[in-house]
Structure 1
């Protein structure tokens, strides 16, 4: 009877198991309902307040007021929906984590299936370049090496063999060398990949820093509106006002307190900022994401593929007679080998170097090809780096496959050997060996120096060991190479009596721009903490290369054993975390958040996803990132470039600065309206502003101006100040002072104008006060462009859109006063030169006085 594994499952049995276990998918794909995205645009407290105000206006028969407020709410919702839907669509386009198809044995024949159809018990076949489609128990493997960095964070491939009872292949990992056959043991959410995805979903949805700030502001404004409205009702009842007039006054006052244009202005500003970030290769999956990153005080970053290029590169060559450096990075063979004095060398110039490079090229199963401008590899990254090194040294390429025998690499032997025909006199066959330096040195009886094979004595052995240990201490992976001439073509398993040729130091090089990005983050008062699955020495070395200060290195096991107070103390210093797992990352992030830090977490692997969700803002890699990591993130770096994070931080700080500017501006405008209304009500005067006029000011003239203010460029020193405190108000003490000062002046000046012209008619007085308030609010915007004496540096006309907005809104107010249809809508009458003259005179201090005060204040950045 044939081997059941070679037959595989029958079609009927596979169908039954598919029904039982379900499709081989996580079940958490981001199939977000458009209706759900639209609905959540209307859940903010400010938006709810507007909806209630519209309902009250409608109930009172003020249809125009209700429609105006409703349009603002709708505009805000549509803008937020469009941005989030575009982000979700972009995320869908980035999905590439799992292979679309896999080779499976069904009914005794090999077939190709969609990975969703794979079930437990299926026999799958995998080779170099394939993604593992499910959790698999190996039943056969040849020279199998697997990249598990997406799952564990470990950058080096691991060898797998079926005779190891712990040998498993896991969904989402990649085969980089060899081929294998195995039986599927788990699919979908039952896989290890799925367990981490489940851990990710257990972290609740978080609100962003800006959302929290605006929600606090909304609650404060709500309380103020309800309190003042109640005061108006009480005062009106006491003075005997009619019920309709009383409610209209209360509604006008409530409308004047709540900045109706604020939600729309925030949404528009953040949407425009998100669009700018896409052009800089950062995709914000929520409008507030970039602003939250701007508030970050700590960035927890992965190493592999984030700080480094995720491309092994040979950087050093050591032989007994020379020490070489290698230029160039990645798998592009455009670099060269040079001596300590900078002289370039080739394999043909030095026999020792030639034999070393030949061993690196022959003892190798990687493939390196050019596709357009890129070099593409298949196989082990280490072997691909050695092949690239051989190309850089102009090592002669063999014709065909000269290997006649081979002993593959294993984790026990830690070496690989091949036999080829000799290429010199007296060489029948040559055994080429590469592997861990300690294993190669202990099997070497000779070493090569100056073209001669010399006996290995204790001194020479000690010299070689000291040399490779020094290179390893720099964070490099060291690969030793040796050879042996033999009379036959077999590959004996003892692999002894070798001639040591030298070793190669390989690094996963840091991205060139990372060091500058980390320095910029440090200058902005932001700590960068590396959290990686790699070993401690490698992580420390990379940290030194990119400019991270490290006093303490802790492993995942250390984190498990440390009490909370000990870990808390460690996190306040210059610490680096190595050999970490998902639970360690989540504990670290939570501990930092407990310290009051705003934490950004970068990552690309499945193992990063829970911490990405837990962090205040998760930053995933778009190219190397896994599907689960991207779904758990708030921001996706489309170019996987760490420096993009720093640009996003700068953009986030600019956005918050501008939100603060227009919030203060809008509230100062509303404060003026409240002062005028309250004082006028308390003294028993006629209504100074109608509800429609207040809506015109808040939604149209103020709203357009605030949007233009939200487009201000970053002020000087944006990245030279520390992160703001986690609970820092969007208003601040200085902002409250400005709001009170401007509100008191504009409200009092409008009242003066109103009562100055009241003897000439209530409609004229109301129109003059209404127009004065609009112009006061327009000219006061310059005071909010910068809160210190920086206007001269940023330029009065640097924000051309603001100037255009001011001119447009002044033109709109002229239309409101002189155009008959607008006169009917807003109940205005034409103004004369005496009214305009008084308005202009009273507006002048709003420009001059703030700049005089700023000039007397100490200069500050930002």
Structure 2
């Protein structure tokens, strides 16, 4: 059912549509009936996966399915030990993934906690406290400063009402409200006669008519959009599925080739029987199982778990394990401004007094910084004094952290005064407030009257510069008040315009002394005032965000600002943090609304800043970037960010200032709200993908060599001439492949990790450098292995001994050199864990071959010195060939000359 455009109706019409008397409110009976009809005022919570569903979900990827099949096949052919080990690995990976994701789910609080538990309403002609969930359309809300708005409501009466709507609209400054009707086409962010669920009252009081509750609110519409968004696979999940598909094809091909050739050859000799077919089939299955890197899920899961732990130590919570890696291939970061790139704290940056301009250093609510300019100026002292006294905000320190109560704009003036050395409490005590004429959207100014320590009185005014200037006739100069000439007035107007162009929010301040202690009207006081100057303030950028943006630029990641703030403010902040450069385009919400998705996709790469956008605008931007084939990360903290967070390849929500809706939609939550943590996550993601890739390349090279040599020998000579017996194959797969591979999974990052551009999100995990290392094995290792085996066939036991030790030592040498796939062994030497893993494997192998039963199971003898010499020489050849291929890779991947 279509909803009335409540903002375009006058108050009487809205009350009439909901059949409610504004002086009495609803009756208890009416409220009960409406609650039954409309339902409780709460959001429909997304159904969370049960612990069992989370656990079973760990087995749904292609690679896990292949390994489960391998478990069954290994058991069928009698390889019980192999089957058991693979099963343990699969269950371990599933448990690790389950534990990490379950913890992340439990760490986030429920969505509905953003709404207040109770609220004051007018019912049965009296004020009552009712539970938020029991609100119904037609209730009359009584709102005061500090209240959380529990439902979308039409303002009926407003007394200096201002609301913080940053969480919903992205507007950083509190928004003034009044009951006047608006055009029907007015955007949500500009509906000044509506107070919206999930926002809060920062100043004043109001009476408002509840018009929408629960999922019918703007808050609920965004939550519904979030829940409807599909969960897309991350690049790593896509690559892992690709690996599983290829390994499945390889395994089936090996089975068919080895079994087919052997059976055909035996049939041509006329000696084919059922026993031979079963023997060949069992061997082919064993060989296919050997081709599958059983430990791959453990390495992938382990690397991601390590990444999650690293992020947790750096104040980030990853909800879905693969999201850690996704940041590593991010090409675009769409970031909210307020509280993400900025501190979320208004700060006075510039003052303009009759004695000249003044700069203030420092940022946020900590009263730390300097006042530069107009030293010793009486006008400056009076301006700061007026900002402190004509003010309802307060500044407090708690456990080393500075915080405010009241309006952030007023708090910025308090901080500026304290920075200048005015003692807040003592100054207010020495200048007690006698009377107040509050700010309203009609007056656009606030005036307070104070007793002075010398017995006189003074009125201080602050408000819109043009309004304050219109009531001033003098300026303080040289210790006396001079006439405010038209030339001076024009200079102040010009200074205010310059501040506004720099995205500063500008206030004018004035005062007037009087010795009359009798009550005065507002008209008597607010005239013939002395203009003290202008205060320009803004929500300053985070210093670490500036550095983080610079790193993004350096590594080829495109940062984009998406905000609900005004165009000038957005561009100024974007320019200061480094997102906006000359020549970049800026688009506002109205312009964005007029172009379709295809038109936006055509120009999206030219746009750095989006201002005054609505929630679906953000979603439209993210989709446009994704249509260009980019991997998009979206950072945000407000309800307005949730749909884009959900649709982005990875959503990153702020943990402190972020709403629960944003956290629910995100893949990652930053506990410290630090934008710089994104850069750390990008580095971790790249590091994890690099390690998974080097492990995969190492294992593919080793396994392909094993399968090619063993399968090749059987194809030529038949299953009676195995180069390695099954026990020896199992040992090499699980021992020499296992620990070194795990060590590669935790290798330190390459030294140039954060100077590379993002990898192509469409790039196959079997990239050309991976293929280069595999081809190297086909050209060097496989021919030598086969030659050595066929050359020594007269003594099959000695041939198998050479094969066993050659496989073991060469694979350890390959692991030693795979600390980096592009940097030399000497530039990126093996790390401690890799050295320990290789040392352990050599020690275990030396100990095991001393046991005759083990040598018998492996079908080998003790190697001679000549055997060891041959193995070491060939290992050196393999080592040098890898160093050579790295030189080629470095040259091919080197950035083009500037």
The answer to whether 1:212 aligns with 2:238 is yes
1:781 to 815, 821, 838: 815
Change beyond 3 A, Cα 1:138–1:700: farther
**1:161-200 maps to which residues of 2 (within 5 A)?**
161-162=178-179, 167-200=193-226
1:810 alignment counterpart: 842
Conserved 8 A contact 1:104-1:112: yes
Whole-Å separation in 2 of the counterparts to 1:696 and 1:472: 73
Whole-Å separation in 2 of the counterparts to 1:558 and 1:706: 53
1:268-303 deviations in whole A, cap 9, x for unaligned?
111112211211222222222122111111111111
The answer to whether 1:801 aligns with 2:818 is no
Shift of 1:485: 4.6
**1:61-80 maps to which residues of 2 (within 5 A)?**
61-80=78-97
Whole-Å separation in 1 of the counterparts to 2:733 and 2:31: 64
Shift of 1:206: 0.9
Conserved 8 A contact 2:431-2:450: no
The answer to whether 1:413 aligns with 2:443 is yes
Conserved 8 A contact 1:420-1:489: no
Whole-Å separation in 2 of the counterparts to 1:405 and 1:55: 85
The answer to whether 1:324 aligns with 2:358 is yes
2:50 to 27, 33, 42: 33
Whole-Å separation in 2 of the counterparts to 1:599 and 1:692: 48
Three-state SS of the structure 2 residue aligned to 1:791 is coil
Conserved 8 A contact 1:314-1:326: yes
Change beyond 3 A, Cα 1:514–1:96: farther
Change beyond 3 A, Cα 1:362–1:789: closer
2:564 alignment counterpart: 533
1:687-716 deviations in whole A, cap 9, x for unaligned?
334555444433443132112112121212
Shift of 1:199: 1.0
Change beyond 3 A, Cα 1:855–1:182: closer
2:471 alignment counterpart: 443
Whole-Å separation in 1 of the counterparts to 2:771 and 2:663: 40
Whole-Å separation in 2 of the counterparts to 1:40 and 1:384: 50
Shift of 1:309: 0.4
2:256 to 226, 230, 233: 230
2:768 alignment counterpart: 733
1:575 alignment counterpart: 608
1:371 to 390, 398, 403: 398
What is the number of residues matched between the two proteins?
847
Change beyond 3 A, Cα 1:503–1:857: closer
Change beyond 3 A, Cα 1:19–1:749: farther
Change beyond 3 A, Cα 1:40–1:723: same
2:148 alignment counterpart: 131
1:92-116 deviations in whole A, cap 9, x for unaligned?
3999634455455677776666644
Conserved 8 A contact 1:261-1:698: no
Whole-Å separation in 2 of the counterparts to 1:248 and 1:815: 31
Conserved 8 A contact 2:378-2:476: no
Shift of 1:313: 0.8
- Which stretch has the larger CA shift, 46-55 or 564-573? 564-573
1:117-142 deviations in whole A, cap 9, x for unaligned?
54545555443333223333445544
**1:691-702 maps to which residues of 2 (within 5 A)?**
693-702=728-737
**1:148-159 maps to which residues of 2 (within 5 A)?**
148-159=165-176
The answer to whether 1:842 aligns with 2:874 is yes
Whole-Å separation in 1 of the counterparts to 2:262 and 2:25: 86
1:459 alignment counterpart: 487
2:73 alignment counterpart: 56
1:475-517 deviations in whole A, cap 9, x for unaligned?
2111101224565534426944433221111121111112111
Change beyond 3 A, Cα 1:127–1:704: farther
1:782-807 deviations in whole A, cap 9, x for unaligned?
3322233433222x24x100011112
Conserved 8 A contact 1:654-1:718: yes
Three-state SS of the structure 1 residue aligned to 2:146 is coil
Whole-Å separation in 2 of the counterparts to 1:754 and 1:607: 67
Conserved 8 A contact 2:430-2:453: no
Three-state SS of the structure 1 residue aligned to 2:233 is coil
Whole-Å separation in 1 of the counterparts to 2:534 and 2:521: 22
**1:641-720 maps to which residues of 2 (within 5 A)?**
641-685=674-718, 686-690=721-725, 693-720=728-755
The answer to whether 1:524 aligns with 2:541 is no
- Which stretch has the larger CA shift, 677-686 or 469-478? 677-686
- Which stretch has the larger CA shift, 851-860 or 187-196? 851-860
- Which stretch has the larger CA shift, 481-490 or 44-53? 481-490
Three-state SS of the structure 2 residue aligned to 1:410 is coil
Whole-Å separation in 2 of the counterparts to 1:163 and 1:371: 41
Change beyond 3 A, Cα 1:93–1:607: closer
**1:367-406 maps to which residues of 2 (within 5 A)?**
367-395=394-422, 397-399=427-429, 402-406=432-436
2:321 to 287, 305, 309: 287
Whole-Å separation in 1 of the counterparts to 2:536 and 2:779: 71
**1:538-617 maps to which residues of 2 (within 5 A)?**
538-550=569-581, 551=583, 552-564=585-597, 566-573=599-606, 575-617=608-650
Point out where structure 1 has 5 or more consecutive residues left out of the alignment: none
2:777 alignment counterpart: 742
> Over aligned residues, Cα RMSD in angstroms?
3.0
Conserved 8 A contact 1:528-1:548: yes
The answer to whether 1:361 aligns with 2:388 is yes
Change beyond 3 A, Cα 1:680–1:17: farther
- Which stretch has the larger CA shift, 246-255 or 595-604? 246-255
2:662 alignment counterpart: 629
The answer to whether 1:479 aligns with 2:496 is no
2:269 alignment counterpart: none
Whole-Å separation in 2 of the counterparts to 1:317 and 1:846: 70
**1:822-861 maps to which residues of 2 (within 5 A)?**
827-833=858-864, 835-854=867-886
- Which stretch has the larger CA shift, 95-104 or 835-844? 95-104
Point out where structure 2 has 5 or more consecutive residues left out of the alignment: 1-19, 183-190, 267-271
Three-state SS of the structure 1 residue aligned to 2:653 is strand
Shift of 1:766: 4.1
Whole-Å separation in 2 of the counterparts to 1:15 and 1:691: 76
The answer to whether 1:790 aligns with 2:824 is yes
Change beyond 3 A, Cα 1:314–1:107: same
